[in-house]
Structure 1
Amino acid sequence: MAPKESADRVVERMLGTSFPEASYSVIQDAARATADVALRREPTEADARAFAARYRGRLLPFELPPTATPRSGSPRERGPAPRRRRWSPFRRRRAEGERQETLWQETHRQEALIAAGQRRMELLLRAMNDPALAETVYLGDGFMAPQTPERRRQYLFVRAMYENMVLSWATGAIPWDDLFVHMRAFLQNPFVREYWYATQPERAGLAADSPEAEVAKMIDRLVQALEEAEEEWWTVGQPPGEQDF
């Protein structure tokens, strides 16, 4: 059985939870004062007033007074300078908890992305090995769609390679600049260019803030630059920053 806490310690924890902005020394002082009055003798109205007068400005966070509206032609009135907040152990623990929660959410997101990517690779592999399943995957409309099982299988493989590169960037395995270099080389293959043109309608509905939409915008610009370039392809373009989209 855990040892029973003292009354002073219980009150101290209660005050620390209720007033996280207050410094630890003020919390300790107020806890002792509370225990002396409320737990060791019968408190009076005078005790309550004295406690409020002593600790109200020290426990509650400081708030700026409302700005006074200056009269026409008079200098703007200023309130007192704000008091610097002390960094208490309670605020430190809260900040650490928030940091751990953010880290956990990011880790969970990365794991979910990787798991979803693995499932998509498994489905694409099955489609590549089964022509009947390959027919269920959108790879273009009309004359833009692959007309033979062999070309459909090639498109599916291009799709798998493309999605793997997007996933590698989205999970932090490769930086944005490296993704640009890989995509520039990837687009030198004529099958890749055919696939990209054929599947353009599919990407039109992507959420603007999704990883694939950001990569797709970069590739669209890169394809245009490669078609208009007169120099060697490996010198074409500079990787645009992610914020440029």
Structure 2
Amino acid sequence: MSPTASRRWTRSWTRSAASTGSSCCPPRARLPQPTLPVLRSPRRAAARRPRLGRGAGAAGGDAPLALASLSSTFMDQRALLQRIAEALGTLPVRGLLTTGPAVDPATVPAPGNVLVTAAAPHSAALSHAAVTVTHAGHGTVVKSLAAGVPLVCMPLGRDQGEVARRVDLAGAGITVGKGASPRTIARAVEKVLHDPSYRREARRLADEIAAETATDRAVAELEALAERAGRGDSVISKG
């Protein structure tokens, strides 16, 4: 694809995503380290807010950070969250697993190197993360790619399979089935962590996202409009 065509494709993604209140996704995706304490119990983990940054953790302060996050709405995902936690427990990583409001963190027991919490600041976590394990929701995928973080996608439904396919085609991650065993999930995470091509392609897409969002005024104006609406300000011109 020529640079001009690529830019047109990126702009179309940016504007489409902006119209739905989400971030843009780069054209080639269409085709083509927190400190984690040793957990004593799921309830204790649910009550604690993760501290982001380098330091000693259950897997060591320099171990890669794996961020795991599924849908914020109910999609019968508790069992999958459990298998992801078990998978990360077999790896030399620091796991940060956010359940969202649809699942009580206390119902997801986790090994010592995995912190389970209802919510965490994903933007901050992604600045430290080496991989994201996700249901391939558009928001999580775009935020991860914008941070240059490769993905392991486990689509649960809706449009997530198509989003995961674009990640695969872009070379920025891989997809495994939602019914995958902890062993299969662990192997997928290991592959993404150990094959530098996934990180390289994620960073390439991050550069494209940064370049596009830095110059597209439509996105900035729509985001400002959404922010004003969220504050309850009038968004109707009085002219």
TM-score range for the pair, normalised by the shorter chain length: under 0.3
- Decide which structure has the larger Cα Rg and report it: 1
Higher helix proportion, which one?
A: 1
Whose relative contact order is higher, 1 or 2, with alpha carbons under 8 Å and at least 6 apart? Answer: 2
For normalisation by structure 1, the TM-score amounts to 0.24
